[in-house]
Amino acid sequence: MSAAASPLRLGILLSGRGSNFLAIADSIRAGRLHGVEIAVVISNVAEAPGLDAAQKLDLPTALFVSKGRKRADHDADVIACLQAHRVDLVCLAGYMRLLSPGFIAAFPHRILNIHPSLLPAFPGLEAQEQAFAYGVKVAGCTVHFVDEELDHGPIVVQRAIPVLDDDDAESLAHRILAEEHLAYTDAIRLVASGAYQIRGRRYVKRSS
Ligand code: GRF
């Protein structure tokens, strides 16, 4: 009988509301993500509701205020914290800060981000509003590995929804968020399985 594999340890980085973090935590609690645990939740904003929610769940948390600090200095603190908590996979969940090249190099193909558009359309801020204003008929969200470019690395999961005639930017963002919560769990499950390869920009399932 082989020993059970040790759980994949997540480090969650957030700056605000934290609904994607809570969706991941709920998936773990409900048994939708086997062999995965949250090692630490890190915020760069003291008032982030997601940080408060993590404390209420009795998860390990850390706060590194980034305002006014050099990116590399701040990132060095965050990397050290992730390493101290033996994090295998970093999940950006509304982390409103670009990562330095040193951060990405410390976790090669081990950082996921969620973005509320079907990339490569509408990278950057307020993606849902950008999509609505453009008049797209299909919107959605993307979970991707993080590389040096903004909202750019290999795509793991996308979920699409129709834009309805009576949508406004707010209702569209609300419906995209519901898809985000499903997409992040799916992406973590896929990455945790280890059964994939990254070929150039392409994330593909590995045949067994
Ligand atoms: C989400 O829309 C996510 O796609 C984007 O930032 C937002 C964070 O929301 N990167 P929440 O803090 O997870 O509720």
Domain containing 65 — which CATH number? 3.40.50.170
pLDDT at 1: 41
pLDDT at 92: 98
Give the pLDDT band of residue 206 (cuts 50, 70, 90): confident
Supply the residues annotated as catalytic: 115
Cα 48 to ligand 1 centroid, rounded to whole Å:
12
Give pLDDT tens digits for 123-176: 999 999 999 999 999 999 999 999 999 999 999 999 999 999 999 999 999 999
Angle between helices 19-29 and 169-193 (to 10 degrees): 40
pLDDT at 4: 63
If one counts the domains in the chain, the total is 2
Cα 117 to ligand 1 centroid, rounded to whole Å:
11
Regarding whether 126 and 102 lie in a shared domain, the answer is no
3-state secondary structure the chain: CCCCCCCEEEEEEECCCCHHHHHHHHHHHCCCCCCEEEEEEEECCCCCHHHHHHHHCCCCEEECCCCCCCHHHHHHHHHHHHHHCCCCEEEECCCCCCCCHHHHHHCCCCEEEEECCCCCCCCCCCHHHHHHHHCCCEEEEEEEECCCCCCCCCEEEEEEEECCCCCCHHHHHHHHHHHHHHHHHHHHHHHHHCCEEEECCEEEECCC
Q: Which residue has the higher pLDDT, 68 or 2?
A: 68
Regarding whether 133 and 90 lie in a shared domain, the answer is no
Regarding whether 121 and 93 lie in a shared domain, the answer is no
Give pLDDT tens digits for 82-128: 999 999 999 999 999 999 999 999 999 999 999 999 999 999 999 99
What atom in ligand 1 is closest to the CA of residue 50? 12
Q: Kindly report the protein residue whose alpha carbon is nearest to atom 8 of ligand 1.
A: 94
Regarding whether 193 and 127 lie in a shared domain, the answer is yes
Side-chain-side CA neighbours of residue 103 (13 Å): 26
Ligand 1 pocket (Cβ < 6 Å) reads 14, 16-20, 50, 93-94, 114-116, 177, 180
Q: Which of 107, 133, 159 is the last residue of a domain?
A: 107
Q: Which of 87, 107, 127 is the last residue of a domain?
A: 107
What average pLDDT does the segment 39-60 reach? 98
What atom in ligand 1 is closest to the CA of residue 128? 2
Cα 52 to ligand 1 centroid, rounded to whole Å:
16
Q: Kindly report the protein residue whose alpha carbon is nearest to atom 14 of ligand 1.
A: 19
What atom in ligand 1 is closest to the CA of residue 15? 12
Q: Which of 65, 86, 107 is the last residue of a domain?
A: 107
Give the pLDDT band of residue 199 (cuts 50, 70, 90): very high
Give the pLDDT band of residue 76 (cuts 50, 70, 90): very high
- Give the structural domain span for 76: 1-107
pLDDT at 88: 98
Query: What share of the chain has pLDDT > 70, as a percent?
Result: 98
